Structure 1
Amino acid sequence: MTYAASFRHQSWGEGTYELAVEVGSTDDAAVQAVLSAVWAAAGVQGCYGHGDREPEEQEPVPCTVASLKEFGWLFGRVRLPSGQLVACAVMAVRDDDDSDWVDFGVPPRALEQAGVVFQEGAFIRSAAADDWLAGVGMEAFREAPFSLGVIGWNVSGLTDAAYLGGVMPEKRGMGHLLPRDGVVHYGAVND
């Protein structure tokens, strides 16, 4: 096993390179539908409640909203398009008044260890990771439609569907998955 796939060798507190999905509801069933769809679309292996223990050292847990409530995060391993196995995680950001988020991501350190190239500059960016996560989001949307997806490093909540009003931003510092007329459209980073 490589460090990229090791739970213990990740800095989970530094955030993840993520697909953050605005569910469009605060209903547990809607959050569960998006959680299940994203987990399946990414092809995540396993589901565990502890990021400080390797999968072999803990019992699997169900990939459910109840498990998220209990553990805060759920962890697994996912195979990148390159074939590299990396650690991944998901969390839910619950909002009593508006819309919940399901954030699925991979620690940047794991992506670097797997050979994913990041662009130099003020922000952590990877076109390859963006495209992969956009594909995950588009496939998940077929099973569980959502209000918005944003892609990048720690991007959850940086914008929302209400703010965008159904219009793709012309300049994008993060990837966008914006549904319109039952179809999700991908706007790659261009700024």
Structure 2
Amino acid sequence: MRIADDMNDDENWTGGFYELCLVLGAADDANVDRALSCLWRVADVQGCHGLRGDGTGFAAVDLGVAALHEHGHLRGTLTLPSGARVVCGGFLSRYEGLDTLELYLPLGALARVDRRIGGYPFDESSGVESLTWRSALDRWLADIAIAVYGEVPYHRALIGFEIDEDHGISGDQRYAAVLRPSPDGMEYRPANT
């Protein structure tokens, strides 16, 4: 039986990542630590594991920025709104003095719990048709982002497949969902393509 929350099943980690990216701002380990703790709690991520140095599975580690720096990626499991449990991970990208904290869901695990995902984003139903499953997932991730913002403000959040900062979110055609602070709270602009 294939189980989508088995961290040791390599197939769960295939296909790329569907991500929630929090653009935190200037590099600051203390801020990353607060955001990571909040993100893990709000998303109800169970466990915190790093890849063993010899590459033979995962070892439990203390959740925190130090573990991010040591292991690169932290991994756990979470429950999707559908009730299905899947593996997940997180990592920090620090580029040109800007911190971006990411929570990701591997498509290999997601495809095991939702057949609509198929070969996204590389199959024939990866365009607008994919919004049938992406919209609900995006909204759930947006709610997580909004809750994190209430405790640890950040510059913006992006949701989608392997988001590279603002790539793919400008103009009217957005393959990524975007959240930005506004005077009335977080403004959510869903993906539309």
Which TM-score bucket, shorter chain as reference?
Answer: 0.7 to 0.9
Name the structure where strand makes up a greater proportion of residues: 2
Partner residue in 1 for 2:103:
104
Specify whether residues 53 and 130 from structure 1 end up closer, same or farther in structure 2 by C-alpha distance, changes over 3 A only: farther
- For the residue of structure 1 that corresponds to 2:35, the secondary structure is helix
**Aligned equivalents of 2:27, 2:157: Cα separation in 1:** 16
Corresponding letter in the other structure for 1:176: V
For residue 42 of structure 2, what is the aligned residue in structure 1? 41
Contact 2:92 2:102 in 1 (8 A): yes
Alignment of 1:108-127 (within 5 A): 108-115=107-114, 117-118=116-117, 120-121=125-126, 126-127=134-135
Distance change >3 Å, CA 53–CA 122, structure 1 → 2: farther
Backbone CA RMSD of aligned residues: 2.7
Shift of 1:8: 2.6
Q: Give the length in aligned residue pairs.
A: 181
% identical equivalent positions: 30
Question: What is the CA–CA distance in structure 2 between the aligned matches of 1:149 and 1:158, rounded to whole Å?
Answer: 10
Change (3 A) 1:53 1:131: farther
In structure 2, distance between residues paired with 1:36 and 1:61: 13
For the structure 1 residues 79 and 2, does the alpha-carbon distance in structure 2 shift closer, same or farther, using more than 3 Å as the test? farther
Displacement, 1:13?
A: 6.5
In the other structure, the counterpart of 1:189 is 191
- Residue pair 1:93, 1:102 contacting (<8 A) in 2 also: yes
Q: Which runs of 5+ in 1 are unaligned?
A: none
What does 1:138-177 align with in structure 2 at a 5 Å threshold? 138-159=146-167, 169-177=171-179
The 1:40–1:116 alpha-carbon spacing in structure 2 relative to 1, beyond 3 Å, is: farther
* CA distance in 1 between partners of 2:185 and 2:115 (Å): 29
Q: d(CA) in 2 for partners of 1:156 and 1:65?
A: 21
Distance 1:138 1:53 in 2: 36
